[in-house]
Amino acid sequence: MKRIIFSLPISCSLSLVLSFSTMLAGPSTVYASSLREVSNKQSLQPLLLSNLGQLKGTYAIYWGYFDPPTLAHKEIIVQALNQLGIDKIIVVLNNPKDSDKNNSTDINQRFKMMDILLQDYKDKVILVIQDEGQKADYHTVKKHIDGKLYAVAGQDSYEKWAQYEKNLTAYDKIIVVPRHVPDSKQPFSFFLPPNIMVLKIEQDLYTCSSTKVRSHIQEEAILQKLLNSKIIRYVKQNNLYLSPLKQVG
């Protein structure tokens, strides 16, 4: 199938791009639902950003608090590996310097849940915990990559990021994940990078988010559609997200 390239005006919104891409794909779009699962059940070994070392090849980077990591997070990671032709994906677990400011769950608990979520893909994932006070931005990560570097972001995160990020065109590709964003700004008032593409994921997961999990933490039927069953068990065993304090997504 030939790839069709359209030239869009600067004022074109990302929401239009995402909607049009979905329309072109149609209901018959088929893509792999999972990668080959590995049998070795060793734990992922998290790295500090400063210890990433030198990596050769093509890598994607995907940031988040993953508080908790959802089925949508897993789908994004797996489909990035399936669709982008990358060697590995660098998953950055945000670790705010002042944890009380955002009321995020303890970094060790979030890492444990990420380990549960990504256990079957550990040979394709590099899990990085940001150094305190050091952002995993383009220049910081690129110095570790001898090759191409892609950025992966949800539509809502991209819209916020693109308003102040100066390095959008520096990435070899920016991969945006469609999300249901009721308050999405239309049209964009800033330049839509020519290196953007849309990641195809299951539409049922467009509205799956960590925020939704925390809002329905005691509703088992809803949780089963949002979280891995082992993560549900871990959340319940550790009494997570029962506090009324707001936590980050």
Tokens representing 176 are 């945006």
pLDDT in tens, 140-187: 999 999 999 999 998 888 888 777 766 678 899 999 998 765 555 544
pLDDT at 28 over 50: no
Q: How far apart are CA 167 and CA 170, in angstroms?
A: 5
Peptide linkage before 68 cis (omega within 30 of 0): yes
pLDDT at 1 over 50: no
Q: In the prediction, which pLDDT does 42 show?
A: 62
Q: In the prediction, which pLDDT does 160 show?
A: 80
Single-letter amino acid code for the residue at 18: L
pLDDT at 55 over 50: yes
Mean pLDDT for the chain overall: 78
Q: In the prediction, which pLDDT does 25 show?
A: 40
CB 164 within 8 A of CB 116: no
| Mean pLDDT across 198-225 | 93
Q: Does 133 or 210 have the greater pLDDT score?
A: 210
pLDDT in tens, 98-154: 544 456 788 889 999 999 999 999 999 999 988 666 788 899 999 999 999 999 998
pLDDT at 6 over 80: no
CATH class of 14-23+42-206: alpha beta
pLDDT at 228 over 90: yes
Please count the other Cβ atoms lying within 10 Å of the Cβ belonging to residue 53: 8
| Mean pLDDT across 222-242 | 95
Instruction: Say which DSSP state 128 is in.
Output: E
Tokens representing 106 are 């303890």
Residues 6+ apart with CB under 8 A from 236: none
pLDDT in tens, 36-49: 433 345 677 778 88
pLDDT at 51 over 90: no
pLDDT at 24 over 80: no
Please count the other Cβ atoms lying within 10 Å of the Cβ belonging to residue 41: 8
| Mean pLDDT across 24-34 | 38
Q: In the prediction, which pLDDT does 101 show?
A: 47
Q: In the prediction, which pLDDT does 179 show?
A: 77
Q: pLDDT-derived band of residue 70, with 50, 70 and 90 as boundaries?
A: very high
Q: In the prediction, which pLDDT does 19 show?
A: 44
| Mean pLDDT across 25-40 | 39
Q: pLDDT-derived band of residue 188, with 50, 70 and 90 as boundaries?
A: very low
CB 210 within 8 A of CB 68: yes
